[in-house]
Homo-oligomer: A and B are copies of this chain.
Amino acid sequence: MEKFFKEINGETWLVEDERDNMKLHYRLKDVIFSKKSPYQQINIVDSYDFGRCLVLDGVIQTTELDGYIYNEMISHIPAVTHNEPEDVLVIGGGDCGVVNELIKYANLKNIDMIEIDRAVVEACVEYIPSISGEAPKDERVNFIFEDGIKFVKNKNKSYDIAIVDSSDPVGPAEILFSEEFYISLKKSLKDDGIMVCQSQSPIFHKEVLKKTRNILKKHFPIVRTYKAVVPSYPGGMWSFTLASLKYDPLTANIEKLNRNTKYINSEIFKSCFNLPNFMKQELE
């Protein structure tokens, strides 16, 4: 049994050990899947409070209970903000939840999903179909198992939308928060392209959010930070930052928003850009 699973009184618990000052213990019904890939330890667990969860190196990445909030917010906002999107790039997102939101938009013609770890996708498609949904069967979706950074370097004005669905900026995902990466991501966008990334917790990772915004402001004329609640993430509130070469989400045609959603609706679309005072002050 991996070191982050603990037996206590005959029951299995997942102990998230990534933070110095707070440890979360989740009671599990079962560890459904376990595999060591060349990149990481992959587990699918069935938990009491959050349903099935993808766990990478002992850290929960997405859950059946609330994964849709993150997935909807990182995908519907750019899909609605762009006037006529057709080609979309998703970096990471091995659980396929983001792609499963994107395919709700019939106008999208081509979705390239670049995930370094094929085993993550295979595990999620098999064991958490409630998150991956129809994505694996949709002909517009191309699964490309490569290093996202290398892939993007060779792309030039190819995409209308690029979504960076990264894990935390430690270890392999750290470079996905670097200026070098954002510059090549911009190069991969068409002249009216939009990119979105998750920019971490505005409570516990203020510095990541500020740094991300400041880098993007150097390279894009329109930069908007928005927020959502993600119950299973530390701090509850999560931030996303959208950087755009032409279209502004504040004046988007929200009529286009897909209605088959569990979190986002037109009021949430508009109000997610309203930030609390402490965030405004941090970002000024």
Contact = CB atoms under 8 A, between A and B. Distances in A.
Contact of A230 (B19, B201, B236): B236
Nearest to A19: B49
A109 interface: no
A274 interface: yes
Count identical subunits in the complex.
2
A31 to B, nearest CB: 15
A261 B276 CA distance: 9
A39 interface: no
Contacts of A19: 49
B21 A49 contact: yes
Contact of A229 (B66, B204, B237): B237
Interface string A44-88: 000111000000000000000110010000000000000000000
Interface string A222-251: 000001011101111100000000000000
A10 B68 CA distance: 40
Contacts of A270: 271, 274
Interface stretch (A22-30, A143-151, A156-164, A169-177): A22-30
Contacts of A65: 203
A68 to B, nearest CB: 8
A150 to B, nearest CB: 36
Interface string A84-113: 000000000000000000000000000000
B20 A22 contact: no
Nearest to A260: B277
A280 B264 CA distance: 11
Nearest to A27: B21
A23 to B, nearest CB: 4
Given A22-B27, A24-B22, A271-B271, A262 B277 contact: yes
A265 interface: yes
A27 B20 CA distance: 8
A69 B261 CA distance: 28
A263 B279 CA distance: 8
A-B interface, 10 closest residue pairs, ranked by CB to CB distance from nearest: A236-B236, A271-B271, A267-B274, A21-B48, A23-B25, A21-B27, A231-B235, A229-B237, A21-B49, A263-B276
Given A264-B276, A268-B274, 17 more contacts: A19-B49, A21-B47, A21-B48, A21-B49, A22-B25, A24-B24, A24-B25, A25-B25, A69-B276, A231-B234, A231-B237, A262-B278, A263-B277, A263-B278, A265-B276, A268-B276, A270-B271
6 contacts: A19-B49, A20-B48, A22-B26, A23-B25, A262-B276, A265-B274
